[in-house]
Amino acid sequence: MPTVNDFLLILPEVVLLIWALLILLIDLWIPDTKKYYTAVLSAAGLVISAGCAFALLGRTGSAFSNMVVLDGFSSVLSILFLLSGLAAVALAYDYLKRNAAQRGEYYTLLLFSIAGMMLMASANDLIMVFLSLELLSIPLYILAGFFRPRLASEEAALKYFLLGAFSSAILLFGIAWIYGSTGHTDFPGIVASIDGGRANYLLLLIGAGLLLVGFGFKIGVFPFHMWVPDTYQGSPSSIGAFMTVATKAAGFAALLRVFLVLFPAEAPIMAGILWGLSAASMIFGNTVAIAQMNMKRLLAYSSIANAGYILMAFVPYGNPVIAQEAVSSALFYLLAYALTSFGAWAVMIALEPAESDGLLLQDFSGLGRKYPWLGAALLISMLSFIGVPLTMGFWGKFYLFKTAVDGSQIPLVLIGLLTSLVSAYYYLRIVMFAYFKPGEPQIQPGRWASVVAVICAAGIFVLSFIPTPVFQFAAQMIMGMK
């Protein structure tokens, strides 16, 4: 029977869910003209939940009969999700007003989705993985279509929903195979069954493959990425930004934990699949991004490529030492990527006129001259995407590549380097428009989005001076994993 301690370990999630329900209720009596109350309330909830997560930082334990675990990995990711949520709230505020879509449900749904992500990062049972995946996905399906009745938004939501349902089914199917093989859905049980030699190897492999597909869909790697560009473009930009960072991170959280805990022995076989997914994502994402003139689609393809980069370090995960390094690098990169991606999206959201589906690159013309702070934020974000030194992006890639080299994945690293080179073309083209083309941004930039952009850019720059402490924090945090 659950004890108080069980609830204490998932306190951030509990707080967030209760808060979300309360906001849902309170928002009913807040008139449309005063929705900033809802925004502020939800931000407060995120901050309180983050405070709880901070307080739990460093504690480990499992709760609810091993359904969820709390460890450094889940704590750090929880904080990342909550901060991403905070950014998504800040980005949405001006943006929703501009688009006359000030509906309080945005914030409630966002909070629900974040709670799902947090549970996903600490799930210790395949059923829990599935449930939290649904808890994070369903609000996002709705949020993607939040600009109802705008056709593009509805289309994005429908596509996301159909394909998401498809992939959820596949994930569930994989869980079924694993249950069939081992007779367990909880991680310790599955591990015990595999270690005891009672598991059916073939069924297990098929299950693992299907799980990989399910997670691959969430993180958007080739060829499970197809929904990414259409959905990002059609959904509200603040949700696009949130999805590139938080959903991806949640998918990685589950992927890393499930594969590290359940399938270390299958690593030699899985490595081949991961290799292919990683290489294909890097090549495809970076190449097709070149042809994009719409900023949202460009960032979508960039996110596909970045998923490939993170996966790269994870290919040699069978070696315990490398696995440790891989998870630290992935966490570090997720942080760097979160800052960079939010920085880029925030600049775009600040400048995006009402009723548009993303800025064209030409629309950045003259930005550097007219709004130097936003221009600088865009520049820093783009340099960080490329991985130029003095940005977090550089260190992120550095640690990923280093891990891959340590795992003797030289060809993959070469692909990574070459595709980074290719990516410089489209990232720098944005900078070129912002600084070297005459023009004028169409609208007055939204204040909160600008603040987010500048904070992210400052973070990218400042943290790049202390990469080692940050990395070691990540490494120290995952020590207590499992």
Partner 1 sequence: MFLSEIFSDPAFSLVPWVVFFPLAGIILNLIFSRRWEEKLTALTACLAAGGSFVISLLLMLALTHHPEGATITLLEWINTGSLQINWAFRVDTLSVTMMLVVSGVGTLIHIYAAGYMHYDVRINGDPSRYSRFFIFFNLFILAMMLLVSADNYLMLFVGWEGVGLCSYLLIGFWFEKGADGIANARAAKKAFLVNRIGDVGLLIALFLMFWNFGSLQFDTVFARAPEVAAATPAVLLAMTLFMLLGVAGKSAQLPLYVWLPDAMAGPTPVSALIHAATMVTAGVYLVARSHTLYSLVPAAQTTVVWLGALTALFAATIAVAQNDIKKVLAYSTISQLGFMVAAVGMGAFTAGLFHLTTHAFFKALLFLAAGSVILGMEDVRKLDETNLSDSFHHSHVDPQDMTLMGGLRRKMPVTFWVYLMGALALAGIAPLAGFFSKDEILAAASQNGLLVFLVLLAAAFLTAFYMGRQLWLVFFGKPRSENAENARENTALIVLPLILLAGLTVLGGLLNFPGSLALEGWLEHTLGKGINGEFNSMVAGISLIVSITGLVTAWFVYSRYSGEIKKLDPLEDMFGAVFIGARNKWYVDELYHAIIVRPLEGLSQQLAQPVDQGLIDGIAVGFGSLTKAIAQSWRSIENGFVRSYALALLLGIVLIFSYLVIR
Partner 2 sequence: MLNDYLPIIILLVLATVLGFLVLIIGALFGPRRPTQRKAAPYESGMIPYGPGTRRISVRYYLVAVLFILFDIETVFFLPWAVVFRQLGWFALIEMLVFIGILLIGFVYVWKKGALEWE
The site for partner 1 (CB under 8 A) is made up of 158-159, 162-163, 166-167, 170, 205-206, 209-210, 212-213, 216-217, 223-224, 226-227, 229-230, 269, 272-273, 276, 284, 287-292, 398, 402, 422, 425, 465-469, 472
According to the binding rule CB under 8 A, does residue 28 interact with partner 2?
Answer: yes
Cα 227 to Cα 15: distance, rounded to the nearest angstrom: 32
Q: In whole angstroms, what is the distance from residue 87 CA to residue 239 CA? A: 10
| Distance in Å, CB of 32 to partner 1, minimum | 33
Residue with tokens 């938080």: 246
CB 115 within 8 A of CB 20: yes
Q: Whose Cβ is closer to partner 1: residue 62's or residue 294's?
A: 294
Task: Decide if residue 4 touches partner 2 (CB under 8 A).
Answer: no
CB 325 within 8 A of CB 406: yes
Question: What span, in angstroms and rounded, lies between the C-alpha atoms of 102 and 110?
Answer: 14
If one asks whether residue 469 binds partner 2 (CB under 8 A), the answer comes out as: no
> Which partner, partner 2, partner 1, none, binds residue 269 by CB below 5 to 8 Å per kind?
partner 1
Cis upstream peptide for 223 (omega within 30°): yes
Partner in contact with 417, chosen from partner 1, partner 2, none, beta carbon below 5 to 8 Å by kind: none
Nearer to partner 1, 85 or 358 (CB): 358
Q: Is the peptide bond before 445 cis (omega within 30 degrees of 0)?
A: no
Measured from the CB of residue 202, what is the shortest distance to partner 1 in angstroms?
9
Q: Which stretch binds partner 2 (CB under 8 A): 24-32, 159-167, 226-234, 365-373?
A: 24-32
**What's phi and psi for 196, nearest 5 deg?**
-80, 0
| 57 is an interface residue for partner 2 by CB under 8 A | no
| Residue 158 binds which of partner 1, partner 2, none (CB < 5-8 A, kind-dependent) | partner 1
Q: Any contact of residue 198 with partner 2 (CB under 8 A)?
A: yes
Token pair 């998401």 is found at 164
CA 114 – CA 43 distance, rounded (Å): 12
For residue 2, state whether it binds partner 2 (rule: CB under 8 A). yes
Judged by CB under 8 A, does residue 24 bind partner 2? yes
Rounded Cα distance between 319 and 261, Å, is 13
Beta carbon of residue 300, minimum distance to partner 1 (angstroms, whole number): 10
CA nearest 57: which of 39, 73, 43? 73
Question: Residue 220 CB, nearest distance to partner 1 (Å)?
Answer: 12
CA distance 390 to 386: 12
Under the binding rule (CB under 8 A), the answer on residue 21 touching partner 2 is yes
Over the range 403-419, which residues count as b (16 or more CB within 10 Å of their CB) and which as e?
A: bbebbebeebbebbeeb
State the nearest-atom distance from the C-beta of 291 to partner 1, in Å. 4
Q: Binding partner of residue 183 among partner 2, partner 1, none, CB under 5 to 8 Å per kind?
A: partner 2
d(CA 402, CA 459): 23
369 binds partner 2 (CB under 8 A): no
**Given candidates 40, 162, 183, 354, which one binds partner 2 under the rule CB under 8 A?**
183
Decide whether 180 or 467 has the Cβ nearer to partner 1. 467
Nearer to partner 1, 40 or 291 (CB): 291
427 touches 382 (CB < 8 A) = yes
135: closest CA among 156, 121, 120?
120
Binding site for partner 2 (CB under 8 A): 1-2, 21, 24-25, 28, 183, 198, 200
